[in-house]
């Protein structure tokens, strides 16, 4: 489950669909770990777009942010970090 708060960033429906496809692997990994909740907040600050992510699962929590000139670059950066974190969590959970 994820919640997207686009704030003052105008997203077209095609952009929302693109975000969903980028988050597909992340959501699958989170469901495998259990109790996964993801909140994404986007804001436009001057010429920059800031994306903040709060992720919670049964093992721990992560807060991450990225600030870029393009919202897509900021979102890709955050999704990459989140996927890496969840993959490490899953490997650590399997080792226990």
| Alpha-carbon gap, residue 96 to 91, rounded angstroms | 9
Task: Please report, in tens digits, the pLDDT of each residue of the chain (96 residues total).
Answer: 789 999 899 999 999 999 999 999 999 999 998 899 999 999 999 999 999 999 999 888 999 999 999 999 999 999 999 999 999 988 876 655
Please list the residues that pair with 55 across neighbouring strands. 38, 62
Where do the domains of the chain lie? 2-95
Question: For residue 54, what are the contacts with CB-CB under 8 A and spacing of at least 6?
Answer: 38, 39, 41, 61, 62, 63
Question: Own/partner pairs for 86-95, CB < 8 Å, 24+ apart?
Answer: 86/26, 86/29, 86/30, 86/33, 86/55, 86/57, 87/29, 89/33, 89/57, 89/59, 89/60, 90/29, 90/32, 90/33, 92/59, 93/33, 93/59
Residue 19 is classified by DSSP as H
- So what's the pLDDT on residue 1? 76
For the whole model, what pTM was predicted?
0.87
Whether domain 2-95 has CATH 3.40.50.150: the reply is: no
């Amino acid at each position: 489950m994820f919640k997207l708060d686009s704030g003052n960033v105008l997203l077209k429906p095609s952009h929302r669909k693109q975000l969903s496809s980028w988050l597909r692997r992340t959501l699958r990994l989170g469901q495998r770990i259990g109790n996964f909740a993801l909140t994404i907040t986007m804001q436009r600050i001057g010429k920059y777009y800031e994306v903040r992510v709060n992720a919670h699962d049964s093992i721990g929590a992560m807060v991450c942010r990225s600030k870029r000139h393009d919202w897509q670059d900021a979102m890709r950066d955050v999704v990459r970090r989140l996927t890496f974190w969840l993959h490490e969590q899953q490997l650590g959970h399997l080792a226990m």
